[in-house]
Amino acid sequence: MYLPFQEMPETARVWVYQADRKFNSEELEFIKEKLTAFCDQWNTHGTLMPTSFDLQYDRIIILTVDEASLGASGCSIDSSVRALREIEQQLDVNLLDQGKISFINEENVVTSKLQELKTHIETGNLKEETPVFNPLVTKKQDLSDRWLIPAKDSWLKKYFVH
């Protein structure tokens, strides 16, 4: 059952999906309609779960489930991936490929393939202090205190060894 994102508890589980480009306003409306309908029927073993989503920076989709009374099963997680795959296909965008990194450069979100990481560092687009999106967040609370962190405090720190 869909709930507004702000009503989800801080302990709710999250999954973060980064698009390889920014969504336009029509695409954002399509995503909102698609995910609201999906969340309204998202269930585990036939029981509806309190669920929600948020769209951030016009390119990041955050799905969340309150697992306090009932955890998300493998089948329910698979159904969310199918919904995201449909969005990918409909909008010709890459959401599910985990081989991406997103960071903020001059107030713009940059999402690029991991293979391009060294180039971003060499050109100065990605520095030790550059805010990067931490892909290891698992709870809604993490979005406020562990999601956007300096690159030097993330798994990227090995690229900044002096």
Contact 88/81 with Cβ under 8 angstroms?
no
How wide is the angle at C-alpha 52 spanned by C-alphas 51 and 55, nearest 5°? Answer: 160
Compute the distance between CA of residue 111 and CA of residue 60 in angstroms, rounded to an integer: 10
Strand 108-113 and strand 100-105: the pairing is: antiparallel
Q: Is 56 exposed, middle or buried (0-12, 13-18, 19+ CB in 10 A)?
A: middle
Global pTM?
A: 0.89
Which amino acid belongs to residue 159? Answer: Y
- Would you write out the chain's pLDDT as a tens digit for each of its 162 residues? 899 999 999 999 999 999 999 999 999 999 999 999 998 988 666 677 889 999 999 999 999 999 776 655 556 677 788 999 999 999 999 999 888 999 999 889 999 998 999 999 999 999 999 999 998 899 999 999 899 999 999 989 998 876
β-strand pairing of 51-56 with 60-65: antiparallel
Amino acid identity at 123 = T
At residue 162, the pLDDT reads 64
All structural domains of the chain with their residue ranges = 5-91, 100-160
So what's the pLDDT on residue 119? 93
For residues 162 and 156, the answer to whether their CB atoms sit within 8 Å is no
Exposed / middle / buried, residue 29 (Cβ in 10 Å: 0-12, 13-18, 19+): exposed
The whole-number pLDDT of residue 49 equals: 82
Give all strands of the β-sheet with 60-65 in edge-to-edge order. Answer: 13-18, 60-65, 51-56
The tokens of 12 are what?
């709710």
